C-alpha cells in the first residue's frame, strides 16, 4: 500500500436559489504575464509519497484573471468545491495568489491569511468549518505556493477549500481565476462578498463562469489487489486471477482510468488486466505473480504492486526397469519421478499377483509374456500415474534383449533422452508433444535400436513421447524434462 498527496480540484454541480442579489460588479482583469502551466507529466516522479498537483482549473484556462480582496467592502474569501466520496486527508492548499501585480518575488511583505476546509450545501456554497488554520501568504511573483494545515484534515464527503483574509491582520491580496467563461458551467467556485458566501455561476447568471485557482493538497490510499481461485494447483489445471483493486470514483483527481498489468511469473504478462484471466502453467514450480496498478495524476503517477505466489505441483511420472535374474526371477526397479516425491507404489505383474514394495523381486511360475504395470502416487495428491511394459520369460534363451520393448531413459531427461525401439517399429516416427497436445518435434525411426533425442530446444516441463507406425499411434508415455 502506498499513500499519495493530490493537489486537486473536484467537480461539484450546483444550483443556487437566490440568484437575484444586489452585488457590486467584479473588477477582475487579465494578467498580461500569465502563470505558466503546460500540463506536462513528469512520468519519472513515482516516489513513495506519490505527490501530484491536480491542476484541473489550470487545465481549463485560456487566460488568467486577477481581482483584489477587501473583506470590509468587497471580497473577503474565495472557495473551490470538490466532489469526493471515501476517506482522505487535506494537508494544505496549493494556490496562485499575488501580493502585487509586478510579478517580481520578494518586494512585498508577507501577509497572514486563514485557510479552511468546509462542508458545502446543495449549491456548492461553503458552510460549516471542518478545520482551519492561520498561515502566511508570501510574495512569490507568478509562482504557485502551498499553504499547509497544522494537522491533516480528514474528509469523507464533498467539501470546499477556502482562503480568507485574516480579519485580525487585514490585507488586500489578489486572487486568480481561469478566465471569464472556462468553468464549463460546473459552478465550483464561490466567494465571500461583504461577509456572505455566493456561488459565482448562478449568482451572476452564468456571466462569470470561472474556477478559483486553489487546489487541496490531498492524501488518500491507493492500494492494488487481486485474488487467485487456488494458489496450489496440479500441473495441467488452470488458475484464475481476478482484479479486485477498488475503483476510484473521484474522477477529477485523475487524468485517465487506472491501468493494470499482471505478471504471471512465467514470462507471461497480461495487460490490460481489468477483470480476470485464466492461465495454464506448462511446467511445475513456484511462480511469483505480481499485479502492478498505476493511478494517473496530472504531474505524476502513483504505482502500487502486490504479489501472490502460485505453486504448480508436478504429477507423478511412473517408470520402471527390470532385470531377468534367470529361472523366472525378475528384479523390478522403480524409476518414477515427482518433485515432491513418490509416496505409494502398486505393481501388477500380469499374472494375478501384486505388490506395494518400491523395488520388488518376483518369480514367474511359467514361461510367457507378462504385461506389468506400475501405478504411483505423489505426496502432493495431484495425480496417480501408471506405466506398463512387457516382460518376456522364455525358457532356453540365455538373454532377453531390452530391444524387445519400448523404453525411454533417462527419466527425468536433461540434455537428451533415448528411446529404445523394437525392430517391428522401424520406419515409424517418434512424436514429442507438450501437455496441451501441441506437436513439438517429429523424429523418424530408421534401422536403429536406440534413438537419441536432444532437448536443447525444449524447456523444462512435462511432455508426451509417442510412436506412430503404419498410420496408427502404437505407444505413448509421459516424461519429465528437467534442465
Q: Using alpha carbons, select from 154, 162, 39 the residue that is nearest to residue 95.
A: 162
Contact 98, 176 (CB under 8 A): yes
Q: Using alpha carbons, select from 260, 262, 315, 261 the residue that is nearest to residue 287.
A: 262
Predicted TM-score of the model (pTM): 0.60
Residue 147 CA to residue 110 CA, distance in Å, equals 13
Question: Distance from CA of residue 91 to its chain's centroid?
Answer: 28
How many C-beta neighbours within 10 Å does residue 440 have?
12
Q: Using alpha carbons, select from 74, 65, 56, 75 the residue that is nearest to residue 9.
A: 56
How many C-beta neighbours within 10 Å does residue 175 have?
23
Residue 173 CA to residue 171 CA, distance in Å, equals 6
What residues does each domain of the chain span?
2-220, 223-313, 314-400, 406-483
Residue 10 phi, psi (nearest 5): -115, 145
How big is the CA angle at 371 (ends 366 and 376), to the nearest 5 degrees?
125
Q: Cell numbers of 382, please?
A: 495431484
One fold for 223-313 and 314-400: yes
In which residue are the cell numbers 481476478 written?
242
The CATH class given to the 314-400 domain equals mainly beta
Question: Distance from CA of residue 436 to its chain's centroid?
Answer: 27
The CATH class given to the 223-313 domain equals mainly beta
Q: Cell numbers of 413, please?
A: 531427461
Residue 121 CA to residue 158 CA, distance in Å, equals 9
CATH code for the domain defined by 406-483: 2.60.40.1930
Return the HEC string of the chain. Answer: CEEEEEECCCCCCCCCCCCCCCCCCCCCEECCCCCCCCCCCCCCCCCCCCCEECCHHHHHCCCCEEEECCCCCCEEEEEEEECCCCCEEEEEEEECEECCCCCCCCCCCCEEEEEEEEEECCCCCEEEEEEEEEEEECCCCCCCEEEEEEEEEEECCCEEEEEEECCCCCCCCEEEECCCECCCCCCCEEEEECCEEEEHHHHCCCCCECCECEEEEEEEEECCCEEECCCEEECCCEEEEEECCCCCCCHHHCCEEEEEEEECCCCCEECCCCCEEEEECCCCEEEEEEEEEEEECCCCEEEEEEEEEEEEECCCECCEEEEEEECCEEEEEECCECCCCEEEEEEECCCCCEECCCCCEEECCCCEEEEEEEEEEECCCCCEEEEEEEEEECCCCCCCCHHHCCEEECCCECCEEEEECCHHHCCCEEEEEECCCCEEEEEECCCCCEEEEECCCCCCEEEEEEEEECCEEEEEEEEEECC
pLDDT by position in tens, the chain (length 483): 333 333 232 222 222 222 233 444 455 544 444 444 434 333 323 333 466 777 788 778 778 888 999 988 899 999 999 988 878 888 899 999 999 988 899 999 999 999 999 999 999 999 999 999 999 999 999 888 999 999 999 999 999 999 999 999 999 999 999 877 888 999 999 999 888 999 999 998 888 899 999 999 888 777 889 999 999 888 888 999 999 998 765 778 788 888 999 999 999 999 999 999 999 999 888 999 999 998 887 777 888 899 999 999 877 888 898 887 777 888 899 988 876 778 889 999 999 999 999 999 898 988 888 999 999 888 777 777 889 888 888 754 333 333 346 888 888 888 999 998 888 888 899 999 887 678 899 999 988 888 999 998 999 888 888 888 888 877 878 888 888
Contact 117, 64 (CB under 8 A): no
Compute CA distances 468 → 2, 388, 457, 471, whole Å: 58, 18, 22, 6
Amino acid at each position: 500500500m502506498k499513500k499519495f498527496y493530490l493537489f486537486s480540484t473536484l467537480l461539484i454541480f450546483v444550483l443556487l436559489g437566490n440568484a437575484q442579489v444586489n452585488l457590486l460588479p467584479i473588477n477582475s482583469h487579465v494578467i498580461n504575464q500569465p502563470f505558466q502551466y503546460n500540463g506536462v507529466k513528469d512520468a519519472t516522479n513515482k516516489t513513495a509519497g506519490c505527490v501530484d498537483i491536480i491542476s484541473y482549473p489550470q487545465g481549463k484556462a485560456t487566460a488568467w484573471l486577477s481581482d483584489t480582496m477587501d473583506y470590509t467592502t468587497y471580497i473577503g474569501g474565495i472557495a473551490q468545491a470538490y466532489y469526493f466520496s471515501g476517506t482522505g486527508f487535506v494537508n494544505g492548499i496549493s494556490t496562485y495568489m499575488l501580493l502585487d501585480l509586478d510579478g517580481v518575488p520578494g518586494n512585498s511583505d508577507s501577509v497572514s491569511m486563514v485557510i479552511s476546509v468546509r462542508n458545502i450545501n446543495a449549491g456548492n456554497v461553503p458552510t460549516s468549518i471542518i478545520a482551519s488554520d492561520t498561515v502566511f501568504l508570501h510574495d512569490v511573483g507568478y509562482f504557485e505556493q502551498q499553504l499547509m494545515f497544522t494537522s491533516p484534515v480528514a474528509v469523507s464527503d464533498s467539501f470546499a477549500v477556502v482562503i480568507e483574509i485574516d480579519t485580525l491582520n487585514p490585507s488586500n491580496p489578489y486572487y486568480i481565476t481561469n478566465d471569464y467563461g472556462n468553468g464549463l458551467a460546473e459552478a465550483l467556485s464561490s466567494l465571500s462578498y461583504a461577509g456572505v458566501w455566493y456561488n459565482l455561476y448562478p449568482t451572476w447568471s452564468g456571466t462569470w463562469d470561472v474556477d478559483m485557482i486553489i487546489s487541496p493538497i490531498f492524501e488518500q490510499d491507493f492500494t492494488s489487489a487481486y485474488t487467485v481461485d487456488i494458489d496450489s494447483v496440479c500441473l495441467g489445471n488452470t488458475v484464475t486471477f481476478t482484479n479486485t483493486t477498488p475503483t476510484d470514483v473521484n474522477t477529477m483527481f485523475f487524468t485517465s482510468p487506472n491501468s493494470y498489468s499482471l505478471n504471471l511469473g512465467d514470462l507471461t504478462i497480461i495487460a490490460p488486466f481489468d477483470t480476470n484471466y485464466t492461465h495454464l502453467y506448462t511446467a511445475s514450480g513456484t511462480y511469483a505473480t505480481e499485479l502492478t496498478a498505476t493511478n494517473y495524476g496530472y504531474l505524476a503517477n502513483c504505482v502500487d504492486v502486490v504479489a501472490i505466489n502460485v505453486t504448480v505441483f508436478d504429477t507423478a511420472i511412473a517408470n520402471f526397469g527390470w532385470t531377468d535374474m534367470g529361472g523366472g526371477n525378475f528384479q523390478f526397479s522403480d524409476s518414477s519421478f515427482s518433485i515432491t516425491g513418490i509416496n505409494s507404489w502398486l505393481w501388477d505383474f500380469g499374472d494375478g499377483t501384486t505388490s506395494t514394495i518400491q523395488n520388488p523381486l518376483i518369480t514367474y511360475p511359467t514361461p510367457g509374456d507378462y504385461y506389468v504395470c506400475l501405478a504411483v502416487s505423489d505426496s502432493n495428491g495431484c495425480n496417480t500415474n501408471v506405466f506398463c511394459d512387457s516382460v518376456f520369460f522364455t525358457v532356453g534363451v540365455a538373454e532377453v534383449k531390452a530391444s524387445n520393448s519400448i523404453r525411454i531413459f533417462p527419466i527425468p531427461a536433461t540434455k537428451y533422452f533415448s528411446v529404445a525401439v523394437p525392430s517391428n517399429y522401424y520406419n515409424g516416427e517418434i512424436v514429442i508433444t507438450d501437455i496441451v497436445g501441441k506437436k513439438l518435434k517429429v523424429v523418424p525411426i530408421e534401422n536403429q535400436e536406440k534413438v537419441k533425442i536432444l532437448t536443447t530446444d525444449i524447456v523444462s516441463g512435462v511432455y508426451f513421447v509417442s510412436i506412430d507406425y503404419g498410420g496408427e499411434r502404437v505407444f505413448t508415455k509421459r516424461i519429465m524434462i528437467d534442465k
